[in-house]
Chain A
Amino acid sequence: MHGYLLFAGKRALLMLAVIFFGVSLTFLVTHLSPINPVEAALGRMTARSVSNPEAIVAMRAALTELYGVEAPLWSQYLNFWGRLVRGDLGPSLMAFPTPAMTLVMRAMPWTVTLLTVATLITFVVGNILGGLAGYSQNNKFLKAFGIVAIAIQPVPYYIVAFILLIIFGFLWPILPISGGFAMNVTPGMNWPYISSVLQHAILPASSLVLVGFGGWFLGMRALVSNVVTEDYVTYAELAGVKKSTIVGGYVMRNALVPQLTALAMALGGVFSGTVITEQVFNYPGLGSLLIDAVNAGDYSLVLAVSTVSVTAVAIAIFIVDLLHPLLDPRIRAE
């Protein structure tokens, strides 16, 4: 038990280091971006009206002062950490003065729900079918499934997404193709809103499931077909252990250990959103927010999104690290 605590402590330190370096790196990258947030904001403000040059100069000075971008990089960096440890990520620059965190929190439920559900469906279906395909390798249905999985696997995600859009949006228009919910419903706990949200999620979710499932299927099939040939499985079969127990207790469980690592990583990645999905389906999530923030030079918001996703991935890896020794005794020994 003492060894385990020591191990957990080490991993926790590692996690903090990963978060520190990840966030620092994002800070550096965003602040070296060629897009100047002051100019971007000025561009937005002066786009629709003609202002006199003095007013623009005055506005530029005011915005520079307001955003605090004239200070040297290292003092901005120290300021940033000073605020971050207090849980404050500063105001968004493009939606000044709304706190960046508020925008992130507004976008997060969309992305996180969509991606978590899609990832879990993909994981469960892919692994169960893949495991069965690896165990009963002569099953015609599962063989055909394998061929389909291999065929879909190399197709780029956006192609699959567009094909779905064309089929269900134009050729057979039964599903909404854009947005998170319909215009004519009021957000809240009412059925029209909920059903609209669900309907809007079908296409993005199925595109993610279609593309993601093949990887789990093929991975699990390969893992299981390795485990099946091990003698302890043969022995269990000989001893008349029930087929379901063999598949569940001996084969799947042993093959699942590496798959769980991948699952945790995928779930951690949920917080960074999927830029392409959200762009293609115009879905209101973290990915869209990130793109808008990058285009507006809103590094405060970019940093907020990145900090959340870096932290989520680091925590996910930390949890996997903690769980691994409990799942696999071979890791406990080290």
Chain B
Amino acid sequence: MSNLLEVSNVSKRFTMGGLFGRKTVDAVDDASLTLSAETPEIFTIIGESGSGKTTLARMILGLELPSSGEISFRGKTVSHRVGRQERLEFMANVQPVFQNPFEAFNPLKRIDRYLESTARRFLKLSQRDDLDGAMDGSLQKVGLSLAEVKGRYPHEMSGGQLQRAAIARALIPNPPLLVADEPVSMVDASLRMSIVNLLKSLRDDLGVSVIYITHDLATAYYISNRLIIMQRGRIVEMGDARTVLDNPEHPYSRLLKASVLSTEDAGDGKLATDPGMVTLAGELVGRPGRLVDRADGRMVRVYG
């Protein structure tokens, strides 16, 4: 079995501060995960703000270099500085989708020009018909069409349309892997499901693997095959999405699940989480522990 993506023992340490008083932050600590090349899946990274999920994604995209550890894509390492040509080859295979669709496009550039230059660059197309075909093809996959997008600037489209256009752009090179960093958190609730379903159909119909980064447990449960839960840079639980979310074992995972708002709780005027759970999960921050295998296939971090 060959691996599409292999992240092994990756850590990232940031140094903050200037002349006076330096401080280091371990944004990601000893993270490992593997995506298989044969079976496309949606792999979810869950965690609160500051848990290191975005840093991990940025390292997978090659935007940050790991302080230690190794990331390889189809056996080729991406965790060191690479030349422009290699960068392009990698980008043709791993495409990003960003959180805020309004920031994903240069406001001074037309969207079709973006799609066109992506097609030119990655598909090496130059004929007008071929370019239009490639653009329209990928727009169709996300439920848009070239006619709708042509000549329009980002501010002339809605957030949901823009996010689809961003995904269409990502799909132009036919990449086997998408890295989607909170792709629905800035989209209206009513459009959220259409984007999530889109990711699902990308996996099921087009065989694209997706690294889906979110803090939203409901959509994670709905579409992911496997997931990891991160707390302050450390993976605390990892495994099959249903197994983990149905019955989370690590205190932090349980806290996350308990914190999901339900209409019943809100109706009862009960919005605060059990303080005991919060302390229990909080105490584990910063303690190394180690990941152990469980009988149901999941891995959990245990301490002491």
Q: Which residues of A line the B interface, CB within 8 A?
A: 230-232, 234-235, 237-240, 242, 250, 253-254, 327-330, 333
Contacts and interface: CB of A to CB of B under 8 A. Distances in A.
A328 B110 CA distance: 11
Interface string B91-129: 100001011100111111010000000100100000000
Contacts of A231: 98-100, 103-104
Given A232-B106, A329-B155, A237 B63 contact: yes
Contacts of B121: 239
A221 to B, nearest CB: 16
B84 A240 contact: yes
A333 B157 CA distance: 12
11 contacts: A231-B100, A231-B104, A232-B103, A234-B98, A235-B96, A238-B91, A240-B84, A250-B106, A327-B108, A328-B107, A329-B108
B108 A240 contact: no
Nearest to A239: B91
Contacts of B87: 238-240
B63 A239 contact: no
A238 B98 contact: no
B156 interface: yes
A238 B62 contact: yes
Contacts of B100: 231
Interface residues of B, number: 24
A254 B107 CA distance: 8
Contacts of A234: 63, 96, 98
B25 interface: no
Interface of A, helix, strand, loop or mixed by DSSP: helix
B98 A329 contact: no
B107 A235 contact: no
A238 B110 CA distance: 19
Interface in B250-267: none
Contacts of A235: 96, 98, 104
Given A231-B100, A330-B155, A333-B155, A238 B63 contact: yes
Most chain A CB inside 10 Å of its own CB: which residue of B91, B99, B106 = B106
A79 B270 CA distance: 79
A329 B106 CA distance: 11
B88 interface: yes
Nearest to A232: B106
B88 A239 contact: yes
A197 B106 CA distance: 46
A230 B103 CA distance: 5
A1 to B, nearest CB: 15
A330 B107 contact: yes
Interface in B191-229: none
B137 to A, nearest CB: 20
Contact of B108 (A237, A238, A328, A333): A328
A39 B85 CA distance: 81
B108 A253 contact: yes
Given A238-B62, A329-B155, A333-B156, A232 B104 contact: yes
Contact of A329 (B62, B88, B107): B107
A240 B88 contact: yes
Contact of A254 (B63, B85, B88, B108): B108
B142 interface: no
Contacts of A238: 61-63, 87, 91, 96
Nearest to A236: B106
Across chains A and B, which 9 residue pairs bring their CB atoms closest together, nearest first?
A240-B87, A231-B98, A231-B103, A329-B153, A230-B103, A232-B106, A231-B104, A240-B84, A330-B155
